[in-house]
């Protein structure tokens, strides 16, 4: 049996979709559904039980959880603008510590979501090397809450037993519920449908032109393949980047969106909100040589092909991954 926390969320529900594609349905889902629409991500997926996150944690602490072979811990507050530090510590740090201890003490495979946000402005590089964790300086409290757990796991000597994944800019179906934290592709798609054009933030650095800020954009289907690789390779422990491995500009992403919609590009550059200017990442690029060395040899999807699949197979039809098991 496999447990997936955050199983109704974006990456969590996609992991369940990927497990289902392998014929695995003996899955326990944990999440906090609240009043959001993320419950819709569960439609079409196959699993044996669902429980709210507090009940799941209670059962682990009290050793009453059904026997599981692996835990994918993907549940967290992923809002990079969240300012309630105490909430992030409780939800992202303390909760993860409890699950990790349970998994390690019970010899359960533990694969958890760290974040590329832990790399901060990128000046320290994007190398998934545990020896350099102490030098990283996240730009926001979300990234810091993830970084704290990475540091704690290292201090406990857990990285020879557990696996942390630093996801870069993941996009794709099942992110519909994420509000302002949705990827630019879905926001751009909706903006084009409404206005015919797209808005990008102006650059406030001389070395980047407007729209030339770069990100490592990785399609959700690739992120699923890379994550499930660690289920197949229990000896692959430690911190690993999950990304496309190539930084692409926002302008290039815009062109890919317009191309998928068979429209000519129409881009407008807009002012960046003041509260983002000192927290904005101008460049991210996953070094994926470590996961390659561990044995993951599949090619990742190009940004153009991924944008086309997302828009044409899902957004245009308002589909979720669970409704298209391919």
Using the 8-state DSSP alphabet, how is residue 203 labeled? P
Q: One of 40, 97, 154, 178 is an active-site residue; which one?
A: 178
DSSP-H helix ranges across the chain: 10-21, 53-61, 85-88, 95-105, 141-155, 184-195, 220-232, 250-260, 274-277, 289-294, 303-309
Any catalytic annotation for residue 178? yes
**If you ran DSSP here, which 8-state letter would residue 41 be given?**
G
Closest to 222 (Cα-Cα) out of 46, 8, 15: 15
- Separation CA 138–CA 130 (nearest Å): 15
58 catalytic, yes or no? no
Active-site pick, 112, 119, 142, 189: 142
Report how far residue 144's alpha carbon sits from residue 138's, in angstroms, rounded to the nearest whole number: 5
State the Cα–Cα distance between residues 265 and 135, nearest whole angstrom. 41
Active site residues: 142, 178
């Amino acid at each position: 049996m496999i447990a997936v926390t955050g199983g109704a969320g974006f990456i969590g529900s996609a992991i369940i979709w990927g497990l289902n594609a392998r014929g695995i349905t003996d899955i326990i889902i944990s999440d906090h559904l609240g009043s959001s629409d993320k419950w819709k991500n569960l439609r079409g997926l196959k699993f044996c039980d669902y429980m709210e996150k507090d009940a799941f944690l209670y059962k682990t602490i009290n050793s009453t959880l059904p026997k599981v072979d692996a835990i994918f811990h993907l549940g967290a507050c992923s809002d990079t603008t969240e300012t309630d530090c105490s909430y992030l510590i409780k939800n992202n740090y303390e909760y993860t510590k409890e699950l990790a201890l349970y998994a390690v003490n019970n010899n359960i495979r533990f694969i958890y979501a760290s974040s590329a946000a832990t790399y901060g402005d990128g000046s320290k590089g994007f190398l998934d090397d545990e020896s350099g964790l102490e030098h990283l300086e996240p730009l926001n409290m979300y990234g810091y809450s993830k970084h704290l757990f990475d540091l704690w796991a290292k201090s406990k000597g857990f990285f020879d037993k557990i696996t942390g994944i630093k996801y870069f800019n993941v996009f794709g179906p099942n992110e519909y519920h994420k509000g302002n934290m949705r990827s630019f592709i879905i926001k751009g798609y909706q903006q084009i449908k409404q206005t015919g054009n797209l808005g990008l933030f102006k650059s406030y650095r001389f070395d980047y032109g407007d729209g030339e800020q770069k990100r490592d954009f990785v399609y959700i289907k690739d992120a699923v393949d890379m994550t499930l690789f660690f289920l197949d390779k229990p000896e692959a422990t430690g911190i690993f980047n999950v990304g496309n491995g190539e930084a692409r500009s926002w302008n290039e992403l815009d062109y890919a969106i317009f191309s998928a919609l068979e429209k000519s590009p129409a881009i407008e550059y807009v002012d960046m909100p003041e509260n983002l200017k000192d927290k904005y990442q101008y460049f991210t690029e996953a070094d994926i040589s470590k996961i390659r060395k561990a044995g993951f040899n599949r090619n990742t999807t190009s940004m153009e092909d991924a944008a086309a699949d997302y828009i044409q197979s899902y957004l245009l039809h308002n589909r979720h991954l669970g409704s298209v098991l391919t």
